[in-house]
Amino acid sequence: MKKKSKSKNDNIWCNLRLVLTGIIVTLGFFIVVGHLIILQFVEGKEWAEKAYNQQVKKQILSPNRGTIFDAKGEVLAQSIPVDTVSVNPGKITYANNKKVPDEVVAEGMANIFNITYEEIIEKLSTNRSVVIIEKKVEKDKIDSLGKWMSDNSITAGINIDEDSKRYYPYNDMASNLIGFCGTDNNGQTGIEERLNDILTGTAGKVVRTTDLRGNAISDEDEQYVASENGSNIYLTIDATIQSIAEKYLEQAVNENTSSTGGNVIIMNPQTGEILAMASYPDYNLNTPSSYLPTGYTEEEWNSLDAESRSSALLNLWKNKVVSGTYEPGSTFKLITAAVALEEDLVKTDTPGEFFCSGSYQVADKEISCWRSKQPHGAQSLRESLENSCNPAFMQLGQRVTAKTLYKYYQAFGLFDSVGSDIARAYPGTFFKLDEMGPVELATASFGQRFEISPLQLITAVSAICNDGVLVEPRIIKEVENTDIGGKEVLETKKVRQVISKQTADTMKEMMQSVVTDGTGRHVAIEGFSIGGKSGTSEPPVGRESDGYIASFIAISPIENTQVVTLVALNGLSEGANHQGGQVAGPVARQILSEVLPYLGVTSSLSTSIEDGKEELLINVPDVSNLTFSQATTKLQELGFNVKFNTDGDPNTVIVRDQVPKFGTTLVEDSVICLYESESEERPRTQVPNVKEMSVNQAINALRAKNLNVKIDGTKGKVVSQDPIVETVVEEGTVINVVISDEAIYSQ
């Protein structure tokens, strides 16, 4: 009986185990099925994406950044191939697979790159799989790295990846205009930033299926999306004209101790094309952060905290021509006069139209004329403009009224943001019309107590020079698609007719009178018709430390005007010479004396006057490929003195170079230096100081140094020279000298 009971119990337990097993299997089945359902229908998309990402490798194809050219195809900014050097810490090995000691790597790389031994040791001590040693490495350093690795039999753990770097061939030319790129090759300032989308292009990619080792499984599934390279941009800037503007601006800022620098803009009023846009101080675009800003000693700069340095650099990089504003001063009298003429509120030459007693009472405020001690007395509009008389223009402003002035300010574009494609542009800062009381109207009439950008002013004056038609200023000439070819030429955009052609012609004729008979006499250039207006801006109330701004806006020729030039020198002290006609006028003259011939604007003169004596102007011929004897005879027959030094026979030795170059215009008795080769060592000399000398004294002083002279002016004393004093130049170099018959203190 007991055996049967045991067997029965065993069967019960056996059945129970089978049931439990079945239940467990069933539950397991449902769990698996449920999980599969979740994976398939709930998490399916997520897991499919993870599987795809494991099996698919994406390769990003970086586009080439477009090149920036000047109007004639000179490269101003381009991307050049460089490399990024990185390492795999702990995996740098010799050819025999032995690990290279960190000390060996650090010592070798510290000798090649701009990084210290200690910094490299720190990088090699990290747990990261890849560490960048240096970015934007140029070819010479990569070659040095390759040689070091070869010499030390290092075969693994050091990586060299292709990259590109922005390069600026002219270093600091048009730096505030062009701007620069960051390490990611995206624009940070200037045109590089404003036109970044056009220059950058669009990245492409290659997508392919791979195995666990990253090897391609099949080429059939490979997807290729080509990158779209950035477009090339051709600016309206002419590198030659830009260099002329920058040369004379830098010289003027340094000579006049202009504490906050200055600006020059040159524009074609008919097309709106900006031919030059210069700011000083400037900076090297290739090393924008490695610079000592103007006004700081090295010790002061090093003592600044990071925030103060950053602020100073941002101010240095800023394009103040577009995003900076200032009180234009008496140059703005051109706008007031144009409005009054257009509204037929005044004639140009009515005697005694206005009266200057040295000051003018407006409401409860007496506002002085710049020449308060020698009042201008009774004047016509033309004489008021020639004299830059504030009381006359306050009286004129009262006739015009604030409402009418503001209507024309709007028409001239002074309330608009001008030049947004160049830099961050801001509209002018004016009183609201309902806040324009008598005093505000008076000061606005002669260009003070409101602010506009230099670009806004030159654009408005260019409308006067373009038969009264306002055109948009433009910096982009063409955009070139580098992938498919072809250029998009940007056309001139006419905005509106602001004043009539008759008013515009009258204004230009009065501007010429300012140069021939008024405060702009320092700008006159023999043989060229020049017009313009001087300006001297007082510092705003409460900002006296900003100093004065001396400016001059010049146009040429009067008929069919090709060039409008604005010169502004900032931060001049009251005790020094700070008048626009005296300080900025000669700079405009120097610039135009080179720019006008370069642009093919012809001179009406064939002679130069010196103390009443006519001297024939002679074009220097090309004597290269002649023997020294033949060249000497030809030059002496034209009236030149000849200087050369050769050990050979002058009858057989060939001239390969000459100073000055052929095509230069000189007076008789000028010296021409001849050379056997372009690389021949040249005699050099220091430029003497001829300022305050008479014409003959200056000529004699320069010729004593075997230097030639080009004189602008007919009588008086030298007021400026280029190159400046103590500059070392080759013998035969032409020194440009400006003569003035009197000291003119002008607004």
pLDDT tens readout for residues 506-551? 999 999 999 999 999 899 988 889 999 999 998 888 888 889 999 9
Greatest C-alpha distance within the chain: 158
Query: What is residue 211's predicted lDDT score, i.e. its pLDDT?
Result: 53
CA torsion angle 678 681 686 691 (round to 10): -20
Number of C-beta neighbours around residue 195 at 10 A: 22
Q: According to the model, what pLDDT value does residue 607 have?
A: 36
Report residue 372's pLDDT band, with 50, 70 and 90 as the boundaries.
Answer: confident
* pLDDT for the residue numbered 44: 60
| Token digits of residue 669 | 């008795």
What is the structure's pLDDT at 426?
Answer: 85
CA distance 453 to 549: 13
Q: Residues 637, 643, 647, 649: what is their CA dihedral angle, to the nearest 10 degrees?
A: 0
What pLDDT sits at residue 639?
A: 87
Rounded to whole angstroms, the Cα distance separating 239 from 166 reads: 19
Cβ-proximal residues to 231 (8 Å cutoff; 6+ apart), any chain: 66, 198, 199, 201, 479, 480, 481, 482
Mean of pLDDT values over 99-114:
88
pLDDT digits 0-9 by tens, 463-478: 999 999 999 999 999 9
pLDDT tens, position by position, 233-250: 999 999 999 999 999 999
The phi and psi torsions of 58 (rounded to 5 degrees) equal: -105, 130
At 614-649, the pLDDT tens digits run 456 787 888 888 899 999 998 998 889 999 988 889
C-alpha to C-alpha distance for 122 and 737, rounded to whole angstroms? 61
For the chain, helix, strand, coil in percent to 5 are: 35, 25, 40
Give the whole-angstrom CA distance, residue 704 versus residue 722. Answer: 17
Is 736 exposed, middle or buried (CB count within 10 Å of its CB: 0-12, 13-18, 19+)? middle
**Given this model, what pLDDT does residue 213 score?**
47
Least confident of 88-92, 124-128, 224-228, 396-400: 224-228
What is the mean predicted confidence (pLDDT) over 315-326?
A: 92
User: Quick one: three-class SS letters along 435-503?
Assistant: HCCHHHHHHHHCCCCCEECHHHHHHHHHHHHCCCEEECCECEEEEECCCCCCEEECCCCEEEECCCHHH
Residue 493's φ and ψ, nearest 5 degrees, are -105, 110
From CA 283, how far away is CA 555, in angstroms rounded?
Answer: 29
pLDDT, tens only, 20-45: 777 777 777 777 666 667 656 666 66
Compute the C-alpha angle 459/462/464, nearest 5°: 125
Q: C-alpha distances in angstroms, 565 versus 12, 571, 628?
A: 112, 20, 43
Closest alpha carbon to 266 in 588, 22, 651, 28:
588
Could you tell me which residue, 214 or 226, shows the higher pLDDT? 226
Write down the architecture of domain 607-740 according to CATH: 2-Layer Sandwich (3.30)
pLDDT digits 0-9 by tens, 696-729: 888 888 988 899 988 877 667 888 888 888 889 9
- Report residue 77: phi and psi, to 5°: -155, 135
Residue 568 has pLDDT above 80, yes or no: yes
Q: Which has more pLDDT, 28 or 252?
A: 252
Task: Measure the CA–CA gap between 100 and 87, rounded to whole angstroms.
Answer: 12
**How many CA atoms are closer than 13 Å to the CA of 462, on its beta-carbon side?**
31
Mean pLDDT of 326-341: 96
User: Which of 250, 311, 214, 746 has its CA nearest to residue 521?
Assistant: 746
Task: Give whichever of 56-70, 207-221, 590-604 has the largest mean pLDDT.
Answer: 590-604
What's the chain's average pLDDT?
A: 85
- Whether residue 117 is predicted with pLDDT greater than 50 in this model: the reply is yes
- Please state, in angstroms and rounded to a whole number, the distance separating the CA atoms of residues 634 and 651: 14
Q: Is the pLDDT of residue 219 over 60?
A: no
Q: How many whole angstroms separate alpha carbon 604 and alpha carbon 557? A: 11
Is the pLDDT assigned to residue 209 strictly greater than 80? no
248: its two tokens: 């004379």
Q: Would you state the pLDDT for residue 227?
A: 64
Cβ atoms 229, 482 nearer than 8 A? yes
Q: How many CA atoms lie within 13 A of 595 on its CB side?
A: 32
- Identify the residue whose tokens are 């995206």: 186
Query: Count of CB atoms within 10 A of residue 383's CB?
Result: 24
Q: Rounded to 10 degrees, what is the CA torsion of 332, 333, 339, 342?
A: -130
- How much is the CA Rg of the chain, to the nearest whole Å? 37
Structure-token pair, residue 707: 């230097």
The amino acid present at 425, given as its one-letter code, is A
CB 370 within 8 A of CB 747: yes
* φ, ψ (nearest 5 deg) of residue 159: -115, 140
**Which among 354, 444, 334, 367 is positioned nearest to 395, based on CA atoms?**
354
CATH superfamily of 324-524: DD-peptidase/beta-lactamase superfamily (3.40.710.10)
- The encoded tokens of residue 171 equal 């270093």
- At 280, the pLDDT band (50, 70, 90 cuts) reads very high
Is residue 175 within 8 A of residue 285, CB to CB? The reply is yes
Model confidence at 346: pLDDT above 50: yes
Give the pLDDT band of residue 681 (cuts 50, 70, 90). Answer: confident
Share of the chain above pLDDT 70, in %: 86
Other beta carbons within 10 angstroms of residue 322's beta carbon come to 31
pLDDT value at position 564?
Answer: 98
Q: Please, which pLDDT band fits residue 1 given cuts at 50, 70 and 90?
A: very low
What pLDDT shows up at residue 238?
A: 95
Q: Which residues contact 5 (CB under 8 A, 6 or more apart)?
A: none
Output the pLDDT for position 60.
52
For residue 479, the model assigns a pLDDT of 93
Give the separation between CA 560 and CA 466, rounded to whole angstroms. 8
Q: Can you spell out the DSSP letters for 531-600?
A: EEEEEEEPPPTT-GGG-EEEEEEEEE-STT--EEEEEEEEEE-TTS---HHHHTHHHHHHHHHHHHHHTT
**Least-confidence region, from 48-62, 262-276, 287-301, 590-604:** 48-62
Bigger pLDDT: 41 or 308?
308
Answer whether 510's CB lies under 8 Å from 502's CB.
no
Q: Is 217 helix (H, G, I), strand (E, B) or coil?
A: strand
Please tell me the least confidently modeled range out of 210-219, 390-399, 466-475, 635-644: 210-219
State the CATH class of domain 60-234: alpha beta
Give the tokens for residue 650.
């002058």
* 75: pLDDT strictly greater than 80: yes
Q: Comparing 131 with 457, which gets the higher pLDDT?
A: 457
Which tops the pLDDT comparison, 168 or 61? 168
Residue reference for tokens 């009472």: 361
Q: How far apart are CA 212 and CA 413, in angstroms?
A: 64
- Higher pLDDT: 701 or 203? It is 701
Question: What per-residue confidence (pLDDT) applies to 180?
Answer: 94
Which three-class secondary structure state does DSSP give residue 683? coil
* Core vs surface per residue 100-112: b (16+ CB within 10 A) or e: bebeebbebbbeb
Quote the pLDDT of residue 675. 92
- Using 50, 70 and 90 to split pLDDT, how confident is the model at 745? very low
Most confident of 407-411, 678-682, 708-712: 407-411
- 169 preceded by a cis bond (ω within 30 of 0): no
Find out whether the peptide bond into 621 is cis, omega within 30 degrees of 0. no
Per-residue pLDDT, 741: 61
Tokens of 646: 């050769």
Strands 734-740 and 708-712, bridge-based pairing: parallel
Above 90 in pLDDT, residue 177? yes
Distance from C-alpha of 651 to C-alpha of 171, rounded to nearest angstrom: 44
What's 433's DSSP letter? G
pLDDT value of position 609 = 39
Instruction: Work out the average pLDDT over 188-193.
Output: 94
Highest mean pLDDT among 44-58, 123-137, 273-287, 295-309: 273-287
Which pair of tokens denotes residue 437?
Answer: 């009381």
**Residue 214 pLDDT > 70:** no
Q: Which has the minimum average pLDDT: 84-88, 169-173, 434-438, 447-451? A: 84-88
Cis bond before residue 288 (omega within 30° of 0): no
Record the tokens describing residue 453, joined without a space. 């950008």
Q: Which of 144, 278, 221, 153 is nearest to 567 (CA)?
A: 278
